[in-house]
Amino acid sequence: MKQRTIDQIVSPIEVSDGAGVKIKRVIGTPTLNTFDPFLLLDVFGSEEGADYIAGFPDHPHRGFETVTYMLHGKMRHRDSAGNEGLLETGGAQWMTAGRGIVHSEMPEQTDGLMKGFQLWVNLPADQKMTAPRYQDLSAQDIVVKEIDGVGTLKVIAGEILGLKGPVQEIVTKPIFLDLAMQAESKIDLPLPEGQSAFLYAFEGSIHLDGEDIETDRLVTLEDGDVLSVKAGPEGGRFILLSADPIKEPIARHGPFVMNTREEIYQAFEDFRAGKF
């Protein structure tokens, strides 16, 4: 076994996006611009409706995938192809934007807790113009296991500890899990060697590689095939993601992520021409 050790510990920065939604951005900042194949990680969480009520009105995407994991709240999505769905507490959505889609994500609540994550995952050049598709998951679709002496493991994508998440056929072969650990508990999590991997602690604290990781910290991990984690004295909860790096040039402007500037210009032209 080769232990995954800490590469970098990153704190989020507060920004606003969409029509003024207050979020914490962790990937996609001057400190951590990208972490191949991960392009962006936003954390949202507020009980004040004014922080999120404006939502994310119609906007385009091309060339990557967006992943939303809703810890608490209700958000409705609609798109230019006529698709519509409601993302609720405990649910997730893996949207492959591919060659282009225009969609909106709007809260279906005016107050109360809205909390979760949005992640952008890059697509390789030969997949950037694929047809858009959704994998919409309710809380009941997520694979959940109570691990004796450790806590509650939820698997959204990939396979780990014999559990296979419902998200399927993603080109970067991701693992996406949510683990809520009991106080002072320990676990070894196997991860594919060669994949990029990070975790984000969002409740309590955890200990790994000789470091205490407090709430609202992202940890990028060095390569290896196992991650050893211990929960803090009050327990700890984190999301963990790993995926195959793409190792291709990135050209990025706003909602478009391609390989060249010329492809970005073409994306804007196609959007203005109503081809999304």
Which helix (H) or strand (E) is 16 found in, with range? strand 13-17
Q: Where are the domains of the chain?
A: 9-272
Mean of pLDDT values over 92-100: 96
Query: CA 271, 54, 135, 40 torsion: positive or negative?
Result: positive
**Cβ distance 65 to 95 under 8 Å?**
yes
The pLDDT value recorded for residue 80 is 85
| pTM score | 0.96
Kindly report the average pLDDT of the chain as a whole number. 96
Cα→Cα distances 139→17, 136, 142, 221, 230, Å: 26, 10, 6, 28, 26
First to last CA, the chain: 47
Rounded Cα gap, residues 137 and 260, in angstroms: 33
**Cβ distance 245 to 37 under 8 Å?**
yes
Rounded Cα gap, residues 163 and 173, in angstroms: 15
Lowest mean pLDDT among 10-14, 108-112, 186-190, 246-250: 108-112
Q: Which fold has domain 9-272?
A: Jelly Rolls (2.60.120)
Tens digit of each residue's pLDDT (9 = 90 or more) over 54-94: 999 999 999 999 999 999 999 999 988 888 889 999 999 99
Spatial neighbors of 128 by CB under 8 A, at least 6 apart, are: 62, 63, 64, 98, 99, 258, 259, 263
